[in-house]
Amino acid sequence: MKLRYKIIIFLSLFLIFTSLLICVAGASTDIQEEINQFAGFSGVLIKDLNTQEVLFSHNEDKLFTPASLTKIFTLLAALEMLGEEYAYPTSFYFSSTVPGEINGDLYIIGSGDPTQSPEVIIKIADDLVQKFSIRHISGDIVLDNSKFLPEEFLGRGWMWDDKNPLIGALTVTGYKINEKQNSYLNTMPLLWGNIFSQELSKKGVKIKGDIRIGKIPEDLKVKYIYYSDTLDKILAYMMKKSDNQIAENIFRTLAQANNPEEASTVARTIASLEEVIDTALGLKWGKDYILVDGCGLSEYNLTTPAHLVKAITYLYQKYDFKILDYFASTKEKGTLKERLSFQVWGKTGTLSSASALAGLLQTKNMRWVVFCLMENNFIFIEDENDPKIFENRIIEYIYENL
């Protein structure tokens, strides 16, 4: 009798195991057929999130232009170096001997806050006027944007004829320019200063001087600091909306984490990113991958599906399912909204020559998987060979079969 039960149990387990193999094999065949029909260079890696079993792979170790999947590395590096509670300070310096009077110049130091829309800048001006009852400024409004190297107002390798966001220590969100010209050097901080100054005037503040770029004297002490939202909220917005300006400003902030006294440069930022990616993922810049910006606009960037899966897995292992808060979802506003009929959390990537999707989902079989799909050098003419449709079909196979 015992032998009979053992045989029944063995056969039951064997049938379950065989069924799973058939399902995985069937799904793999379907995915491979999609890859064979796609006119372009593609890479796919699908893993069980918990066991790290490889469920399907194709060109997973080949280098691709990642487009906005670059933001996953920016997310990882920012969480590791700055932390979820980091807030950007904007500092105000001035001397005053009479209440309501600023005798001399009003100095403003930016730190790269990527959340300052015109509405936020107006609120900052209102708060300052209310706090100090300001009625008159006898000098200039001096904008100190030296925390980020001002000459590097565009990302490395960005296309000159794209509508690129300007980057700086004093940033107005949403502002873009059409071409690369040296005349844009001080455009962003002066725009910030004009919005700020106009609001002061509306509040009845008389400003005798001008708006200019400069640095604060060493003897002045800070009078007021405006702090941004915490970084976890900023990162979530960056990832879900795929905001390039926010991502690049956060990327440049990495250099400030190690040495806030030196100006952030692209070279210093890359070195900071290199350090954290080496420590967290064991990947070497220049050997395993190349990343030169934080948003993915640069086609100099190169990484692999395996690297992206490794990065997402690292985030999951350290932060658990809280990381889902940072990814776009098919069930909420963002770059994935209603793209698929089931729940997927992920990051999209799109350039003229590149498309990608990476993230997590729970299949019909209740299995959590981590995946990365990347496509480069594809032919896309009149809705044919659409890389997004290619990605959707593979994700649907994953959900239905794995």
Query: Residue 12 to residues 115, 232, 367: CA-CA distances in angstroms?
Result: 58, 47, 21
Convert the pLDDT of each residue in 351-381 to its tens digit. 988 999 999 999 999 999 999 999 999 988 7
Say whether pLDDT at 221 is over 70.
Answer: yes
> Residue 219 burial (CB < 10 Å; 0-12/13-18/19+)?
exposed
Crossing angle between the packed helical segments 70-81 and 231-241, to the nearest 10 degrees: 180
Mean pLDDT computed over 126-138: 95
Confidence at 322, pLDDT banded by 50, 70, 90: very high
Convert the pLDDT of each residue in 259-288 to its tens digit. 888 999 999 999 999 999 999 999 999 999
**Would residue 104 be called left, alpha or beta, if left means φ above 0 and alpha means ψ between -120 and 50 degrees?**
left
Structure tokens at 133: 């009852």
Ordered structural domains, the chain, with CATH: 35-82+239-401 (3.40.710.10), 87-229 (3.50.80.20)
Structure tokens at 137: 């400024």
Query: In sequence order, what are the beta bridge partners of 48?
Result: 369
What length is written for the chain? 402
Poorest-pLDDT segment among 34-38, 93-97, 204-208, 291-295: 93-97
